[in-house]
């Protein structure tokens, strides 16, 4: 093999080894724990929940409650449970097994704090109060801090 070919082969092998080492370093870094969300702005880290209440009645298949009526039923449940709340009015939809799309008004209660069982209990009470079949629940790890006031989770 010519000297030039050996140089090219050596350079290629070196480049491949370097790329492999860099990729291995990235993979090892990603396999560790996630960085803390506590920093100069936040002082706590916790899992919070976002609950989506579509207002389709489970018995009639139609929306029987207005957004205001549904809020009047849900807000006391959150307050009774000891949680503050942030609620958004939204539109949602889903497909039935036959492909029919059902759209409905949806109330979204965001940043719900509490342990898993307390959140499940709140969901059960809300489903019963609204007479709905299901609630979509998301959880996410957040860093947060309350500037003034007191923050408590549901119990």
Cβ–Cβ < 8 Å for 56, 155: no
- Phi first, then psi, for residue 99 (nearest 5°) are 95, -10
* Domain edges within the chain: 58-143
Whether domain 58-143 has CATH 3.30.70: yes
Bridging pattern class, strands 86-95 and 44-54: unpaired
| Residue 72, number of CB atoms within 10 A of its CB | 12
Print pLDDT tens along the chain (155 aa). Answer: 555 555 554 555 455 554 554 455 555 455 567 678 888 888 888 889 999 999 999 999 999 999 999 999 999 999 888 877 899 999 999 898 999 998 999 999 997 888 899 999 999 999 999 999 999 999 999 998 888 887 777 76
CA distance 30 to 116: 27
The pLDDT of residue 134 is 94
At residue 18, the pLDDT reads 47
């Amino acid at each position: 093999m010519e000297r030039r070919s050996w140089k090219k082969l050596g350079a290629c092998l070196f480049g491949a080894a370097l790329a492999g080492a860099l990729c291995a370093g990235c993979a090892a870094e990603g396999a560790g724990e996630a960085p803390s969300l506590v920093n100069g702005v936040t002082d706590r880290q916790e899992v919070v929940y976002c609950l989506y209440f579509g207002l389709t009645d489970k018995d009639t298949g139609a929306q029987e409650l207005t957004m205001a009526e549904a809020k009047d039923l849900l807000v006391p449940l959150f307050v009774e449970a000891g949680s503050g709340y942030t609620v958004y009015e939204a539109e949602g939809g889903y497909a039935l097994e036959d492909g029919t799309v059902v759209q409905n008004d949806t109330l979204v209660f965001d940043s719900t704090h509490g342990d898993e069982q307390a959140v499940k209990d709140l969901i059960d009470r809300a489903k019963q109060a609204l007479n709905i079949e299901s609630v979509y629940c998301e959880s996410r790890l957040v860093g947060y801090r309350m500037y003034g006031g007191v923050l408590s989770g549901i119990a």
